Amino acid sequence: MAEAKKLLEANLEELDPLQRRVHDYSIRFSKLPLERAEELVETLVKEASVERGLAVQIANSLPRSIGELRIFLGRRRIISEEVMNSILRIIEKYKSG
């Protein structure tokens, strides 16, 4: 989300109506600055062994509980509660820092 926002802002004057709506959406719902979001994704991949696509989804939404985190995991795989708590601690560090 943060990356899309940055890309759209680079050409703000040239955006068509749909791109402007996407830009407005990204302003409203982007939860971290681009640099922090990128760091969070890399940390989730390295420290929590989360697949990159899933790490991006997590960085875009910043789940606050195991229940919210499970929404992203779906039935793809089973992850221990310990690993999910580790992911939530990483998220909290990036939200507060």
Q: Do 74 and 54 share a domain, yes or no?
A: yes
The three-point CA angle 51-52-56 to 5° equals 120
Same structural domain, 40 and 76: yes
Q: Are residues 24 and 65 in the same domain?
A: no
Whether 25 and 60 share a structural domain:
no
User: How many C-beta neighbours within 10 Å does residue 48 have?
Assistant: 19
Q: Which domain holds residue 89?
A: 34-96
pTM: 0.83
Tell me: do 23 and 10 sit in the same domain.
Answer: yes
Same domain for 44 and 25, yes or no, is: no
Looking up residue 59, the CATH number of its domain turns out to be 1.10.150.80
CA atoms within 13 A on the CB side of 89: 8
Per-residue pLDDT of the chain (97 residues; tens, 9 = 90+): 889 999 999 989 999 999 999 999 999 988 999 999 999 999 999 999 999 999 999 999 999 999 999 888 876 667 788 989 999 999 999 987 6
Whether residues 46 and 91 share a domain: the answer is yes
Residue 76 pLDDT: 62
User: Within this chain, do residues 19 and 64 fall inside the same structural domain, yes or no?
Assistant: no
